[in-house]
Amino acid sequence: MTIWALPIAILITTTILAFPLSRYLAWIMDGKYRAPRALRWFEDRLNSGTQDWKLYVGSMLVFNTLLFIFGFLVLALQPLMPLNGDGKGMLAPSTIFHSVVSFMTNTDLQHYSGDQHLSNFSQIFFGLSNFFLSASIGFCGLVAIIRAFRSDTHLGNFFVDMWRVVVYMFLPIAFILGIVFVQQGSPMTFESSVQVSTLERGAMGTTEKGEPKQQSVVVGPLAAFVPMKQLGTNGGGFFGMNSAHPFENPTALTNFLSCVAMMLFPFGLVLMFGRMLKRLRHSYVIFSVMMVLMIGTVIWAVYYDALQPNPGLTSHPLAQTYEVPSATAPGGKRVVPVPAVAGLPVDQHLGNLEGKEMRFGTSAGATFAALTVDVTDGAVNAEHDSLNPIAALSPMVGMWLNCIFGGKGVGMINMLLYMIIGIFVAGMMVGRTPEYLGKKIGGREAKLALIALLVHPLMILFPTGFFAATDWGLKAESNPGAHGFSQIAYQFSSASANNGSAFDGLGVTNGFANNPAPAPEAVPWDIVTGIVIIVSRFLPIIAPIAMAAYLGAKKSAPFGLGTLRDDTATFGFLLLGTVLIIGALLFLPVAALGPLAEHLGPIPFGG
Amino acid sequence: MSKSIAKSLWLLLFAVVLCCVVYPLALWAIGQSVFPFQANGSIVKGQDGAPVGSLLIAQPFTKDEYFQPRPSAASYNGAASSSSALAASNYALRNRVATTLGPIVRYKDGSNAGKLVAPDIERWFQQDRFQGNPSIVLQWADAHNSLAQAWVAADTTHAGYVTDWTKSHVSVVAQFVKANPGTPQPQLSDLAVVFFETFSRENPGKFPSAVTHTDSAGKSTTAIEPVNGGTDIQSTFFDMWRTDHADVPLQDLPGDMLTTSGSGLDPHITLQNAEYQLDRVAAKWAADTKRDAPDVRAEIGKLLNEKAFAPFNGIAGEKLINVLEVNLQLRNRYGAPS
């Protein structure tokens, strides 16, 4: 039973906290909060007046461009900046491009390792600034959509909205969490590393001079970094191994708080949506649908990973032979024998422990894996590459659906798209004009929703197919067979879902600009995933804002007998069905080629 | 447009000052003044006052007097955390676990209960039959080309041995080139499988391994030679031995002892793992301090139970031990290991 205690506690705690939080969020974003005079000065400085949707989106793009330039400068000038105790150089240009795009869009897919490649200055001024600002941008996108739905006379002001999100929401919570993190053991220093002589001198080996080697322990301003990484569903690790690293996640308590922190705002935003529209019951229905999907992914991951052994170490008594097409073999077919293997004497009652940390609890790795993709955080506290093959389907499905609470605002926006499509289809089936919030959904709105929705699969499937067929992908794979394909599919799913977790074995690290031995195909990976990230971030924010603006401009139809009610269980099932059917139609083939093939195929695969 | 740019600049300025300067500085002030130990990396000092490690970062131990942490895919490098990223379907994972197991695994039942399997692996290896077919090394190299290649690349002495072999087996190499026109000038790794095939035929029941000889003058030299026993054979061929003896009951080893962690720096092991190591640790300290083994064992066992803790008091997971913390206690209590 202990296995389920942790996920249940996380889900219940977050749900309870989300209610008061959503009330607070709506209160702030509706401008009912009167800031003290000192803080009002900042708002007045930032206020550029009321904006329509085009101006609002325009401001967002201008600000993002500025954020891109700023991030690029910080990383490119790293060798010249202070707080660089270990003298780290400049990253390869393509990696800088990729990292800046990735952090600016709340994706935080990392083709570098923070502990090896970034100075504390870069971690703070590049990482931390983007944590706050990129999360706020998605948040503001959702608020703009809500105001458009309400047919407000204007959408508010982008800059004021951003400021309010950062100052009144993220900062106070991050600060409180930061104190807990440092108390629990996360370092909070501007030093870069501490040199320690190991307890057993020379256990790390000896230097060329014959002296015992010291262990170099990288430290840094972790306690400021990590809470915001989680709260903003950013997920870009200070260390290469992210929240699996003992400084980034020192205890079971910080792991619990990391989970709650990343889910808190996605949960709260769904309820805020209902409060601001004064349709709280509608929000409950959406919340329930998301919760059903989330529970599904958690149970799947925990059952197949924490309750099942790692199949690589167990017995597979059936010897098999496979025939594979081969141009050189006689008869055009080559026979591949897969010998039987016996079980190794390993006690696996704690499930698959490869790539797991011990201190968080037995089911913590699998639980975190499911939650981090559902809310598109992308931090990891275990190695996803080493998850049991079938358990790895859970994080992949989370990224493919991309609407199980989802990132800051963006997940809720994606769910809106599914809703519009679902209502449109249902309306067509029963022969009634489809309506949402009393507004008729016309061809233009449905088209915009479809564009925003189809960007995601296109941006996953095309590059995955292309890379899987060429050296760009094949030379980057680190595991054989179907799992190698999964690595490629996972990387693009993560990029397109603006998630940021990865199957870390994939060779995509270019390293410093003067690295003599970068991963062979790192440059195409940097550039293509960078482009995928940009397209999959901005189209699904801009198109829905436009759609909401067009919809909001229409006259409200009176509530009638034929209106499809959006606050009933029926609507919930309609929504659930839409998500599952669209998701399955788009992604089942990838699932079959990747994790399912690995699970059903021979293990171990090849020599 | 220009208005947007101006406002964007203001927003960026305000946000950077607040989020990247004020916020971290405030936390830094609190951390350094209220929680200085944690804020600086939980660094603990040895008896001479020098920092020996961080309680949160695993470090390696090679001596038998100390408890061993989990294996590390990062080689315990505190500046480059890393996981193995090995998929379950990757034979490298199974091979890594099997090679660790070979020399240490024990029988579970019957008259052999508690005895090491290793001597039996050597005896089986010398018979040179696997699944009813002759030549174990040949079958091993055929089934696991990548392991054969890895052996050649592992060490300069290995590479040297194979280079010498190519010189004494010119005809075999020529035959390989004829059969593989794609590689007119084969590298050592291309020849790895052929090398083991030939080796297996010429040295049945043997495997190339490093042997150290000491001559009459006391000078020792290490060279690769065909051997029929030793750790290399016990570890490399344990998986195949196990396949031939699938039904023999063996003692299970704790899972966390054989798997690498997510960060490569996991500072904890399960209490179960520590208790598995307890016999070895206690026996060694008893020998060092010339005391009764059962007394020392009881003392260290008590220490383990005192130091054990579980995530959320056991609601979320099993009891754990911080390896450095316990080893530091042992070092302080019993002195330096011999």
Contact B23 A603 (CB under 8 A): no
State the pLDDT at residue A558: 78
Q: Where does the pLDDT of residue A564 fall: very low under 50, low under 70, confident under 90, or very high at 90 and above?
A: confident
* SS3 assignment for A59-121: HHHHHHHHHHHHHHHHHHCHHHCCCCCCCCCCECHHHHHHHHHHHHCCCCCCCCCHHHHCCHH
Minimal CA–CA distance to A265: which of A22, A65, A73, A84? Answer: A22
Minimal CA–CA distance to A162: which of A21, A67, A276? Answer: A67
* ipTM value for the complex: 0.93
Chain A residues whose beta carbon lies within 8 Å of the beta carbon of residue B28: 188-190, 221, 224
List pLDDT tens digits, range A165-209: 999 999 999 999 999 999 999 999 999 999 999 999 989 988 888
pLDDT of B271 > 90? The answer is yes
- Burial letters B161-171, b for 16+ CB under 10 A, else e: bbeebbeebee
Mean pLDDT of chain B: 92
Rg (CA), chain B: 27
Interface of A with B in 494-523 (CB under 8 A): 503-505
Beta strands in A137-234 (DSSP E): 193-196, 215-218
- What are B320's two structure tokens? 């754990």
Q: Where does the pLDDT of residue A330 fall: very low under 50, low under 70, confident under 90, or very high at 90 and above?
A: low
Tell me the nearest-neighbour CA distance from B309 into chain A, angstroms. Answer: 9
Tell me the nearest-neighbour CA distance from A13 into chain B, angstroms. Answer: 15
As a whole number of angstroms, the distance between CA A163 and CA A169 comes to 10
pTM: 0.94
The answer for residues whose C-beta is within 8 angstroms of residue B155's C-beta and 6 or more apart is none
As a whole number of angstroms, the distance between CA B77 and CA A287 comes to 44
State the pLDDT at residue A328: 66
Contact A353 B20 (CB under 8 A): no
Residue B139 at interface with chain A, using a CB cutoff of 8 Å: no
As a whole number of angstroms, the distance between CA A30 and CA A143 comes to 9
Tell me the nearest-neighbour CA distance from B274 into chain A, angstroms. Answer: 13
As a whole number of angstroms, the distance between CA A382 and CA A361 comes to 12
pLDDT of A408 > 90? The answer is no
3-state secondary structure of A335: strand
Chain A residues whose beta carbon lies within 8 Å of the beta carbon of residue B97: 312-313, 344, 346
Q: Where does the pLDDT of residue A406 fall: very low under 50, low under 70, confident under 90, or very high at 90 and above?
A: confident
As a whole number of angstroms, the distance between CA A594 and CA A323 comes to 19
Mean pLDDT of chain A: 92
As a whole number of angstroms, the distance between CA A2 and CA B145 comes to 43
State the pLDDT at residue A317: 84
What's the angle, vertex CA A85, arms to CA A81 and CA A88, rounded to 5? 65
Chain B residues whose beta carbon lies within 8 Å of the beta carbon of residue A204: 59-60, 76
Chain A residues whose beta carbon lies within 8 Å of the beta carbon of residue B146: 607
CA–CA distances in Å: residue B36 to residues A189, B28, B39, B49 = 9, 10, 5, 17
- DSSP secondary structure of B261-272: -SSS---EEEHH
State the pLDDT at residue A329: 64
The answer for residues whose C-beta is within 8 angstroms of residue A434's C-beta and 6 or more apart is A423, A424, A426, A427, A428, A440, A441, A564
Percentage above 70 pLDDT, chain B: 100
Residue A313 · residue A348 · CB < 8 Å: yes
As a whole number of angstroms, the distance between CA A423 and CA B31 comes to 52
As a whole number of angstroms, the distance between CA B1 and CA B151 comes to 64
As a whole number of angstroms, the distance between CA A28 and CA A469 comes to 50
As a whole number of angstroms, the distance between CA A605 and CA A185 comes to 41
pLDDT of A325 > 80? The answer is no
- What are A499's two structure tokens? 């998630």
As a whole number of angstroms, the distance between CA A282 and CA A273 comes to 9
Residue A183 · residue B7 · CB < 8 Å: no
State the pLDDT at residue A607: 63
Contact B52 A185 (CB under 8 A): no
State the pLDDT at residue A482: 92
Residue B25 · residue A190 · CB < 8 Å: no
Residue B126 at interface with chain A, using a CB cutoff of 8 Å: no
Minimal CA–CA distance to A374: which of A414, A410, A402, A415? Answer: A402
- Which residue type, as a one-letter code, is found at position B270? T
What's the angle, vertex CA A587, arms to CA A581 and CA A592, rounded to 5? 115
Residue A388 at interface with chain B, using a CB cutoff of 8 Å: yes
B143 to chain A: closest CA residue: A607
| End-to-end Cα spacing for chain A | 38
The more confident residue out of A333 and A238 is A238
Residue B41 at interface with chain A, using a CB cutoff of 8 Å: yes
Residue B60 · residue B76 · CB < 8 Å: yes
